[in-house]
Each structure stands twice: as structure tokens, then as C-alpha cells.
Amino acid sequence: MPIYEYACQDCGTKFEKLIRRDSDLDQLACPSCGDSHLQREQSTFAPKMGGSKSSAPAMCPSGGMCPTPGKCGMN
């Protein structure tokens, strides 16, 4: 289930909303001011489209900095 992030265009409040069905979209309103002038931001779980899929540095399976580059399979 997608979680969308919205920004209220009236008061600037940002919030996340779990959308289970289309009717949830009709009931969307800012939790702060109750307005429905909302701008949908990038989905939390949506893959970035059109970009490189490895913009983050490779992580060693041992976690963090690899003490033996080339031996952990990430190099």
C-alpha cells in the first residue's frame, strides 16, 4: 500500500497518508487547517524514476566501512 506525502498549500503542513483505496483521496484534508489544497510529494516507497539506481555508496554487509575492500563482495 502506498504512503503518500502531502504538503498543505495553505499552511505548509506536511503529512503522510496511507492510501488504501481511491476514496481515501477524496477525503484528504490537511490535519492542521482542514483545507484540501494539497500538493502531493514524492512517495516514500516509490522508486526514483530515470536516475541511477545506486546513488548511495555501497554498504559492506558487515555494516558501514569495509575494512577489507574487495573481500566482502561489494567491491
Residues that bind Zn ion (CB under 5 A): 8, 10-11, 13, 30, 32-33, 35
Integer angstrom CA distances of residue 45 from 1, 11, 42, 48, 57? 9, 25, 9, 9, 19
- For residues 3 and 50, what is the distance between their CA atoms, to the nearest angstrom? 21
Toward Zn ion, which CB reaches closer, 24 or 62? 24
Provide, rounded to whole angstroms, the least separation between the CB of residue 62 and Zn ion. 45
- CA distances to 7, 24, 58 from 15, in Å: 7, 14, 31
Nearer to Zn ion, 15 or 19 (CB): 15
Minimum distance from CB of 11 to Zn ion (Å)? 3
Query: Among residues 39 and 44, whose Cβ is nearest to Zn ion?
Result: 39
